[in-house]
A and B are shown apart, each in its own frame.
Chain A
């Protein structure tokens, strides 16, 4: 079954404690991306990756890091989480070629993060 898998689904942590949210896709997609969803703001892109070892900032990259060492995995790293990073996070992937396929995203089920 084609899917994007995120872990953990739920996490409560404290300010400053480093954490990683993993993301894996089994569709051999080149393009992967992280979004955060906040009430009234829709989805905002944090980082994206066009392929292995190629990553770039989205609209709200501050406080986040990513890496793309393998095609299937795209972890999101919060080196020193702060309360304003409390949010619902989504990983997504697509074939990433041209506007049409770049817009046909497959999403994970989301990771709800609370930073106290």
Chain B
């Protein structure tokens, strides 16, 4: 079956540091890949997506590249802000199957 594995958190960074949150996946088909963000007390919001190999999704300074050869979709940001503190979920969607989420990675950015 499909699965998503994320690095465990929390990830604690200082403001303006470089961020990487690792995500790898297992899928039988050709999934679409997503990153969702959950700010404190809120529901999840779609952050970015990529639908095929080598696609790069980007939004709000965050980027992730769909790497089929390494089955990865790592989230990166060049300079994090305190307002980026949240829980980040990697997810995949395959035709005919429900969205599969990773367990989430909490990011804490300190001023």
Contact = CB atoms under 8 A, between A and B. Distances in A.
Interface of A: 4, 33, 40-45, 48, 58-59, 90, 92, 98-100, 102-110
Interface residues of B, number: 25
B44 A103 contact: no
A109 B42 contact: yes
Interface in B85-111: 89, 91-95, 98-99, 101-104
Nearest to B50: A100
A106 B98 CA distance: 14
A105 B46 contact: yes
Contacts of A104: 34, 46, 49
A19 to B, nearest CB: 20
Interface of B: 30-32, 34, 36, 41-46, 49, 51, 89, 91-95, 98-99, 101-104
Contacts of A108: 43
Q: What does DSSP make chain A's interface, helix, strand, loop or mixed? A: mixed
Nearest to B99: A103
Contacts of A106: 46
A99 B43 contact: no
B3 to A, nearest CB: 11
A41 B45 CA distance: 18
